[in-house]
């Protein structure tokens, strides 16, 4: 439902050849031979207007599947086959569960089978083009589309485990999302999330505010400031930006190491991020990023994709995170119960 299709309605009025327009059919329908140039919307202070609600989800994975090697794009037939496979998988998820199925074996993992159909439909089964191409991964550099991780790197949570602290020794061992503090990568829009991948941008002459729906994480970017003033680690770092023509280039550093995500982007205290926001249509932002972290990665890596404007009815809603109120106490209480039983 988030796929935006640009529909052009052709006038049925017969246009004269003198106006520079050509006959397109024998039934009197005419099409202009010259497309109207796109005029970039601008704010009252003359800069590209990024304001509004945007969708940053994607069916294109962050990393390229290893079996694709150096293959950077799909052709039209390959993309259609992938979309068909996605629709088939969602249809299977939609099928009702067998009410007469056996109970799971003792100790078996209980997944989110009852929620899979609901969760799986946040992103339409469509591959979005970037620069007119179907990319095989969001990451475009290195050329293999993979994150160049250092195998020896230990992030915040790996160091905790190495020190003998388990995930259930206290709330600090749990992921930030479970504590209702943060969600996703160091910058939530960095990776193509599956759940509620919506963000709102508010813009002034000197600031850009980017708020993601999950868990209402808000970034304040200082435009025109060249200096990072927060040397103490901050949630989502300290962000400054400069204009390069009509592209806003955002540089962020000084992140909290707890924002490391083993599922997407692991980070150390040296993590730095450069983002580029370029308005390429009324409803599209070309978004690219480069990650640098000498501790976590053997080289920097770069990705790109398209952010699409949400329809007016697709707002960013208030987000209520209950896991920290209910799930977290239950997890810790269950761990203490197991410890008592084992004594």
Q: For 313-323, write each residue's pLDDT tens digit.
A: 888 888 888 77
Confirm whether 61 is domain-assigned: no
Residue 144 pLDDT > 70, yes or no? yes
More confident residue, 215 or 127: 127
Looking at the 3D structure of the chain, how many domains does it have?
Answer: 1
Would you state the torsion angle of the CA atoms of residues 163, 167, 172, 174, taken in this order, to the nearest 10 degrees?
140
pLDDT for 340: 92
β-bridge mates for residue 291, sequence order: 273, 301
94 is a domain residue: no
pLDDT at 164 over 70: yes
Residue range 251-280: mean pLDDT, rounded: 92
Query: Alpha-carbon distance 45 to 189, whole Å?
Result: 26
Is residue 190 assigned to a domain? yes
Q: How confident is the model at residue 301 (pLDDT cuts 50, 70, 90)?
A: very high
Span 24-62, pLDDT tens digits: 333 333 333 456 789 999 999 999 999 999 999 899 999
Domain span at residue 312?
Answer: 148-328
* pLDDT for the residue numbered 133: 95
Task: Provide mean pLDDT across the span 303-314.
Answer: 93
pLDDT tops 50 at residue 303: yes
- The answer to whether the beta carbons of residues 246 and 48 sit under 8 Å apart is yes
Domain assignment of residue 105, yes or no: no
Query: Residue 79: which pLDDT band, with cuts at 50, 70 and 90?
Result: very high
Position 281 in a domain: yes
Do the strands 238-244 and 247-253 form a parallel or antiparallel pair, or are they unpaired?
A: antiparallel
Statement: residue 10 has pLDDT above 50: no
Q: Which residue has the tokens 């017969």?
A: 14
Which has the closest alpha carbon to 256: 326, 172, 331, 329? 172
- 99 domain-assigned: no
Distance CA 73, CA 197 (A): 24
- The verdict on residue 77 lying in a domain is no
Residue 115, pLDDT > 70, answer no
- Say whether pLDDT at 261 is over 90: no
Mode of pairing for the β-strands spanning 217-223 and 238-244: parallel
Q: Is residue 44 part of a domain?
A: no
Q: Which residue is listed with tokens 């309605």?
A: 9
**Local confidence band at 120 (pLDDT 50, 70, 90 cut-offs):** low
In this prediction, residue 114 has a pLDDT band, given cuts at 50, 70 and 90, of low
C-alpha 168/C-alpha 331 separation (Å) is 7
Q: What is the pLDDT of residues 174-207, one digit of tens each?
A: 888 888 888 878 888 888 877 888 999 999 999 9
Percent of the chain with pLDDT over 90: 52
Q: How confident is the model at residue 13 (pLDDT cuts 50, 70, 90)?
A: very low
Q: What is the pLDDT of the chain when averaged over all its residues?
A: 84
């Amino acid at each position: 439902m988030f796929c935006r299709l640009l529909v052009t309605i052709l006038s049925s009025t017969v246009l004269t050849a003198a106006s520079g327009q050509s006959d397109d059919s024998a039934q009197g329908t005419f099409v202009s031979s010259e497309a109207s140039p796109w005029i970039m919307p601008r704010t009252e202070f003359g800069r590209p207007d990024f304001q509004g609600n945007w969708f940053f989800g994607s069916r294109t994975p962050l990393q390229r599947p290893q079996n694709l090697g150096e293959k950077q794009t799909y052709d039209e037939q390959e993309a259609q086959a992938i979309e068909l496979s996605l629709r088939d998988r969602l249809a299977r998820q939609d099928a009702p569960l067998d009410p007469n199925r056996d109970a799971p074996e003792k100790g078996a993992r209980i997944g989110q089978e009852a929620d899979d159909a609901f969760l799986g439909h946040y992103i339409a089964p469509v591959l979005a083009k970037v620069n007119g191409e179907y990319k095989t991964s969001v990451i475009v550099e290195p050329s293999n589309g993979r994150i160049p991780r250092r195998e020896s790197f230990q992030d915040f949570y790996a160091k905790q485990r190495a020190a003998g602290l388990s995930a259930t020794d206290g709330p600090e061992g749990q992921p930030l999302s479970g504590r209702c503090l943060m969600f996703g990568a160091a910058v939530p829009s960095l990776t193509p999330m599956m759940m509620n991948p919506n963000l709102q941008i508010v813009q002034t002459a000197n600031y850009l505010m980017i708020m993601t729906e999950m868990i209402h994480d808000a970034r304040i970017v200082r435009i025109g400031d060249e200096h990072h003033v927060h040397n103490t680690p901050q949630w989502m770092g300290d962000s400054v930006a400069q204009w390069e023509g009509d592209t806003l280039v955002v540089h962020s550093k000084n992140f909290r190491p707890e924002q490391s995500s083993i599922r997407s982007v692991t980070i150390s205290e040296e993590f730095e991020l450069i983002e580029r926001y370029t308005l390429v249509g009324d409803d599209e932002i070309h978004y690219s990023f480069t990650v640098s972290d000498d501790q976590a990665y053997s080289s920097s890596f770069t990705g790109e994709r398209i952010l699409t404007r949400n329809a007016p009815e697709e707002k960013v809603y208030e987000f209520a995170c209950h896991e920290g109120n209910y799930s977290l106490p239950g997890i810790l209480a269950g761990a203490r119960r197991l410890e008592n039983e084992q004594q």
